[in-house]
């Protein structure tokens, strides 16, 4: 997809002033220097820093931001006349955040809403695609429903600072229709950022959520002093479990084998800037509790590690789906303090070894047999018709 023609978008609102919100604002502002890109933040110091010095004082502060980026703490001001919304709010805070601002989302005209949230909602076990559709489309009060908002989901191996400094990067943009996916890609695609369109919304959301859980364990392995052999084993088997879960939810294995799946998994498990990996490393190497590690990160504004909330939700989801996922279950047990990282590793390494079963959706065999029966029956029917036609032809 090529970038949207410059000047076509008048106003883009970015929800969230963390590292990724700042990076998203940078991408869309570069693509359209004439656009009014507004970051909605809750912090007055961030508003002042961006508007006066063109820098975010709390995240990615080493970068000078584009002149067409500004910030506000006023949601009505941020959303007035906006035609594109980029949502960069942690998933566990998304419903409350949107409940506070939904009345200011315009109701006239189509609004493209691109979500970068990753995770699984801890209570409802919803992916971002399910949560956002419920919150925006199925409000009890009809006046609060925003059916004019068209949802898309951006996910892939993208660290914020490397997007800002134009390191060659890529991600997947999923939407319910290919037309919307391509349109949403156009706001971000550039010579330094490849944006691949997709209609596999569930696959993109599953990959973005589950890779964070595996990254916590990858940090744990490094914290225990293990090398790349151990991490490669974890990443490969973690990808297998992630794909198994995704297929059970209706995702495509192709998506989970691409940038939004294994690509994002590799970055988060191997990259030095991974927040989830940092949590796992601290828990394993510093012998601190998860609560102590998270408290320390919050004090330093180190950013949210979504995998901490996603791990228990993923474990529950696996139980509901009846999917065998020992790696995800192990991470859940570590974060609850029931076992240590070393004990989790021992459990996983001593599991019975079985050949990998084919990755198929539930009911695959029944659907395949039914398809074969239908195909065979149709072949017989057509053959009989042709034979009957030939006989009638000879009779004439």
Which residues belong to the active site?
Answer: 211
d(CA 251, CA 130): 14
Sign of the dihedral through C-alpha 82, 88, 91, 93: negative
Nearest Cα neighbor of 131 from 101, 97, 95 is 95
d(CA 164, CA 180): 25
**Who contacts 327 (Cβ-Cβ below 8 Å, separation ≥6)?**
213, 214, 217, 234, 237, 238, 241, 348
d(CA 25, CA 68): 10
Residues in the chain: 396
Q: What angle do CA 189, 194, 200 make, to 5 degrees?
A: 95
Strand positions, DSSP E, 103-253: 111-115, 149-155, 169-175, 193-198
Q: How do strand 36-40 and strand 11-15 relate by DSSP bridges? A: parallel
Q: Is 383 exposed, middle or buried (0-12, 13-18, 19+ CB in 10 A)?
A: exposed
d(CA 89, CA 98): 10
Nearest Cα neighbor of 205 from 126, 140, 275, 124 is 126
- Token match 């916590």: residue? 216
């Amino acid at each position: 997809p090529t970038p949207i023609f410059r000047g076509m978008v008048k106003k883009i609102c970015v929800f969230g002033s963390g590292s990724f919100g700042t990076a998203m604002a940078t991408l869309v502002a570069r693509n359209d220097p004439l656009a009014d890109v507004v970051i909605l933040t809750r912090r007055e110091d961030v508003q002042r820093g961006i508007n006066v010095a063109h820098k975010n004082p709390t995240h990615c502060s080493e970068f000078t931001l584009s002149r067409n980026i500004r910030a506000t703490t006023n949601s009505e001001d941020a959303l007035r006349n906006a035609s594109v919304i980029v949502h960069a709010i942690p998933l566990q805070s998304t419903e409350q955040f949107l409940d506070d601002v939904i009345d200011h989302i315009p109701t006239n005209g189509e609004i493209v809403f691109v979500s970068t949230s990753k995770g699984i909602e801890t209570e409802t076990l919803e992916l971002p695609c399910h949560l956002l559709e419920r919150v925006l489309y199925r409000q009890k009060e009809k006046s609060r429903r925003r059916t004019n908002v068209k949802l898309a989901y951006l996910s892939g191996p993208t660290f914020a600072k490397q997007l800002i400094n134009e390191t060659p990067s890529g991600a997947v943009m999923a939407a319910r229709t290919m037309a919307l996916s391509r349109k949403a890609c156009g706001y971000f695609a550039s010579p330094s950022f490849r944006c691949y369109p997709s209609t596999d919304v569930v696959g993109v959301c599953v990959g973005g959520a589950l890779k964070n859980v595996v990254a916590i364990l990858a940090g744990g392995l490094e914290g225990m002093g293990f090398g790349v052999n151990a991490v490669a084993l974890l990443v490969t088997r973690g990808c297998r479990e992630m794909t198994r879960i995704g297929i059970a939810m209706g995702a495509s294995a192709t998506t989970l084998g691409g940038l939004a799946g294994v690509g994002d998994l590799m970055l988060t498990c191997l990259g030095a800037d991974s927040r989830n990996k940092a949590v796992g490393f601290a828990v394993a190497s510093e012998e601190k509790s998860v609560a102590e590690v998270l408290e320390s990160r919050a004090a330093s504004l180190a950013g949210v590690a979504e995998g901490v909330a996603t791990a228990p939700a993923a474990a529950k989801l696996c139980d509901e789906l009846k999917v065998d996922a020992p790696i995800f279950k192990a991470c859940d047990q570590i974060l609850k303090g029931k076992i240590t990282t070393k004990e989790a590793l021992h459990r996983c390494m001593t599991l019975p070894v079985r050949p990998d079963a084919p990755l198929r959706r539930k009911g695959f065999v029944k659907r395949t047999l039914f398809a074969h029966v239908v195909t065979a029956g149709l072949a017989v029917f057509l053959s009989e018709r042709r034979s009957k036609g030939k006989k009638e032809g000879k009779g004439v």
